[in-house]
Structures are given as structure tokens and as C-alpha cells.
Amino acid sequence: MKIAITDACIFIDLFLLDVIDVFFELPFEIHTTYDVLNELNAHQIKSIQIHIDTKKLSVYSLTSEDRLNANTLNFPRSLSQTDKTVLYLALKLEAMVISSDKPIRNTANKLNIECHGILWIVDQFLAHGYFEKPVAKSILTQLIAINPTISGSDLVMREIKKRFEEWSK
């Protein structure tokens, strides 16, 4: 099963869209770091705990040696320490990254790490039969409303428009 390292922005969007539980049903091993969990609020952590307890989410505590190794990778300054933990773990586990954060995605691409975002997750919901196209369209419509980064990105909005057109056929 493919391993996916997830960052905080993905978890937050999935919580706001009320599809976090469906995310953990996808056929991937979902992993993250304690640094990422520390960026979530108490309610989100409480909700995600069931996925940790049922082993659908693995959470890593990076050692001081891991952190030193991560710092030797010369990550761009635009990345937070938490972002670096996500990328480092992806390299260490030979995993893909799931993030909508542009600096993470750009760095992942430079490091030849497979990287996907929230739109890909919605595509996976469709591909694996969790939702029909009208529901997926509703999810993306909600995403535009709740996430100004999405609505402010011409590239992402073009991708959403493409999906809306395709799903209307």
C-alpha cells in the first residue's frame, strides 16, 4: 500500500469540509508528524485520535538526529520547521506528500517526491466510489468558500473549473 505523508493544511481543509473520516478510508497508509498535529486545534486532534487509535494514521516523532539530517538537506527558507518534517519523513519513508502548501509542493517536486493536493484527494474520493460527481462538486464549491488560498489561485481555480466541466458531462 502506498504511503502518504500529510501536512496540517490538508487535515484542516478535510475537517472544514467534513470529509476527514472518508479520507482515512482511502487505500493509502496515512502518516504525519507530531509537529503537524501540533498545528491542529484541540477539537481536530480529538477527532483525529480515533484514526490514530485504529492505526489508520501513523504519527512520527522525529528524533534529534532526524532533525539534524533534515537540516542538512538545505530546504528553502520559505519552509517552516513543520514543513521540513513532512518532506524529511517522505524522503525517509519513500512516500508521497499530500499538501496544498505551495512551498512544500515546489520543494517536493525539486526532490522528485510525488506530491498531491486537496483536488487530488477529491479525485480519489470519486475514483474509489466514496462520492458521486454532484457531491464532489459540492465539496469543491465549499472548498472555494472556506479557503481563500484556493479561491485566490488562478491555477487551482482553472483545475476546479476543468473538473466541474468534466463532471457535468
Give the domain CATH number at 82. 3.40.50.1010
Residue 113 lies in a domain: yes
pLDDT at 71: 83
Residue 127 lies in a domain: no
User: Could you tell me if 137 and 167 are in contact, meaning their C-beta atoms sit under 8 angstroms apart?
Assistant: yes
Q: Cβ-count burial of 22 within 10 angstroms (0-12 exposed, 13-18 middle, 19+ buried)?
A: middle
Provide the number of structural domains found in the chain. 2
Angle between helices 154-167 and 118-127 (to 10 degrees): 20
Residue 27 lies in a domain: yes
pLDDT at 165: 95
pLDDT at 138: 97
CA distance 37 to 18: 18
Residues 10 and 73 in one domain: yes
Q: Residue by residue, what is the 3-state secondary structure of 87-136?
A: HHHHHHHCCEEECCCHHHHHHHHHCCCCEECHHHHHHHHHHCCCCCHHHH
pLDDT at 2: 95
Residues 26 and 96 in one domain: yes
Name the residue range of residue 73's domain.
3-118
Q: Mean pLDDT of successive 10-residue segments in the chain (169 residues)?
A: 95 96 97 97 95 97 91 89 95 96 94 96 98 97 93 92 93
User: Could you tell me if 107 and 57 are in contact, meaning their C-beta atoms sit under 8 angstroms apart?
Assistant: no
Residues 19 and 87 in one domain: yes
The model's pTM: 0.94
Residues 100 and 136 in one domain: no
